[in-house]
Homo-oligomer: A and B are copies of this chain.
Amino acid sequence: MDAPAGTSLGDVTLGELRLAARNHGMPLEALRYAVTPVGLHYLLVHYDIPAVDPQSWRLTLGGAVERTLSPSLADLRAMPAVTRPVTLECAGNGRALLGPRPVSQPWLTEAVGTGEWTGVPLRVLLDEAGLRDDCVELLFTGLDRGLEGGVEQNYERSLPRPDALGDDAILAYELNGEPLPPQHGAPLRLVMAGWYGMAHVKWLGTITALTEPFRGYQQEVGYRLYDSEGKAGARLTRMRPRSLTIPPGLPDFMTRERFLDVGPCRLEGRAWSGWGRVERVEVSVDGGCTWDDAQLGEPVGDRAWRGWSYVWQAQVPGSYVISSRATDAAGHTQPVEPPWNLKGYANNEIERVPVTVRGGA
């Protein structure tokens, strides 16, 4: 297969490395934490982290509303609050596993994390402003600004009115019980539980009630599934199911290969889906030829990952490939073949974790 424009069959470019050096994945051993500690949650920043003074900052909510609002952070903190654990994954997670590889932020499988977000249900603020009947979408504009695809822009994305009024939309000012860190959108970000990360607009400046669908860059050009001719297909919304394993045994520093000793090995991991509760996780230690059901723990929340475990009797020294596969209540599961698309979104192919089992003494 020839590599279409914007993709590569070769090694990682300096441009991709620049992105990988500043954005970061969650080291997979951090799957052990039900709620990801700050600093281990994945992070993708499109432009620069903006410097925002939380004292003088105000949110503006305007457009097709009865009353324009401009609450301060203190105003928002005085409103009814919810706290929810939410699993958040970048839509580009798995991109660098594709062949040819779409050239952008080169995620392997680590672009995920679960935060405990506290904030105001978006609906509360929209009710206070009074959405006019002709409002069809809500636009969320961040304070981060840069160039992308030749367009100078603030990062901004819209949500259909029904989604914005649903339970999954939160205006969050705390993460894990502390004020939002700068890199996660301080002083306020949108959390859109169950959706890929692109919907969770950080460093919110304004919310605009629109009477026409938003046609900006991050909605029409970015975050869509393209075919190899560059034709834009569906928009990205909810996260496809995925399961990941805490890499067992010991790592090699340079190769990240795993080594473990003969004997029983308790495999553990976590699985999630934006389309419904994870109902089943299966484990394979032979590269996906045979599968066994894992034991499921309770989900950390109704929009957060679910732990699983499986005891593997690693009796024979040699090379193995560990995989796990999630299936959700909506019947979605994970594919063996990566779902290739030109920009490398939503690749929820089954993980492959090579391990070497070493003989006893």
* A361 at the binding interface (Cβ < 8 Å): no
Quick one: closest B residue to A96, CB to CB?
Answer: B17
From B20, B43, B104, B146, contact of A252 by CB (8 A): B146
Chain B residues with CB below 8 A from A47, complex form: 250-251, 253
Knowing A11-B14, A147-B259 are in contact, say whether A43-B49 is a contact too (CB < 8 A): no
Name A246-276 residues within 8 Å CB distance of B: 247, 250-256, 259
Which of A16, A18, A43 has the most C-beta atoms of chain B within 10 angstroms of its own C-beta?
Answer: A18
Q: Say yes or no: is A162 at the interface (Cβ < 8 Å to chain B).
A: no
A181 contact set on B, CB distance < 8 A:
37-40
Q: How many copies does the complex hold?
A: 2
| Contact B48–A29 (Cβ < 8 Å) | yes
In this complex, what residue of B is CB-closest to A26? B22
Cα-based distance from A188 to B328 in the complex (angstroms):
41
Instruction: Find residues 93-128 in chain A having any chain B CB closer than 8 Å to their own CB.
Output: 96, 103-104, 106-108, 110
Task: Verify B27–A253 contact, CB threshold 8 A.
Answer: no
In the complex, the chain B residue whose C-beta lies closest to that of A186 is B37
State the interface size on chain A (CB cutoff 8 A). 59
In this assembly, does A32 line the interface, its C-beta being within 8 Å of a C-beta of chain B? yes
Judge whether A360 is part of the interface by a CB distance below 8 angstroms.
no
A12-44 at interface with B (beta carbon < 8 Å) = 12-25, 27-30, 32-33, 37-41, 43
Q: Which residues of B contact A103 (CB under 8 A)?
A: 254
| Candidates B22, B27, B252; contact of A183 at CB < 8 Å | B27
- Partner of A108 from the list B21, B27, B182, B250 (CB cut-off 8 Å) is B21
CB distance from A260 to the nearest CB of B (A): 12
| Besides the known contacts A21-B24, A29-B48, 20 further A-B residue pairs in the complex with CB atoms under 8 A apart | A11-B11, A12-B12, A15-B255, A15-B256, A20-B20, A22-B28, A22-B110, A24-B43, A27-B45, A29-B49, A30-B182, A37-B181, A38-B38, A39-B39, A39-B181, A39-B184, A40-B182, A47-B253, A147-B252, A148-B253
